[in-house]
A and B are shown apart, each in its own frame.
Chain A
Amino acid sequence: MTERFSPGDRVRTSNRDPAHHTRLPRYARGAVGEVVQVAGHHPLADDRARGRQSPPQAVYHVRFAATDLFGEGDHAVTVELWDGYLEPVPDVEEEQGS
């Protein structure tokens, strides 16, 4: 199976606020982090929690700077996140529109 992201890629998490079970914690919504490693392929928990069939998708360990999540702290927080929670982040140059 191929993965959309590789270690070192910068990703932004979804900002959606689902009413159902999800493995994307509130504190990590809409945040930018870096893929650390691929952690296998698994059915999306959001779907399985609702009794739905779900094909396996890539799960990643994504590392965030604590200050990006909580506004303070000099440590990192690594969260296990499904591919569907993530969007690519353009290079910094593109982001700044230069």
Chain B
Amino acid sequence: MSRINDVGGVEGFPGVVEEADEPAFHADWEAHVFALNGALLKRRVYTLDEFRDAVERMPPEAYLAASYYERWFAAITTLLVEKGVASAADLVPADD
């Protein structure tokens, strides 16, 4: 069955608004997520298609509520556990 990402042509989603002079990243953590994904792909921890699949496997309500790089972060953590690189316990947020 189609997953929550596959909404092309579906009514009810707002149009894409282009931000003037949009920066590549809106926060430092986004740049870290971007770099982390590139490093993991380059080291062949997973493929780009496995990464896309992991984004699409997010629970629909979480997918819809997440920003672009929040989806990336969710997919990376999913794959790190599935590939045995990290345990779920390793990925508990650090205390500030």
Contact = CB atoms under 8 A, between A and B. Distances in A.
A57 B9 CA distance: 28
Interface in B45-95: 47-50, 52-53, 56
A19 B1 CA distance: 5
Interface stretch (A3-11, A33-41, A44-52, A85-93): A44-52
B53 A21 contact: yes
B55 to A, nearest CB: 9
Contacts, number: 33
Nearest to A46: B49
B96 interface: no
Given A17-B1, A17-B2, A21-B56, A27 B8 contact: yes
- In this complex, the interface size class of chain B, counting residues with CB under 8 Å from chain A, is 10 to 19
Interface string B30-49: 00000000000000000111
B22 interface: no
Contacts of A17: 1-2
A51 B49 CA distance: 9
User: Interface centre among B2, B48, B49, B56, by most A CB within 10 Å?
Assistant: B49
Interface residues of A, number: 14
Contacts of A27: 8-9
A20 interface: yes
A26 B50 contact: no
A48 B1 contact: no
B19 interface: no
B28 interface: no
B6 interface: yes
B42 to A, nearest CB: 16
Contacts of B53: 20-21, 49-50
Interface of B: 1-2, 6, 8-9, 47-50, 52-53, 56
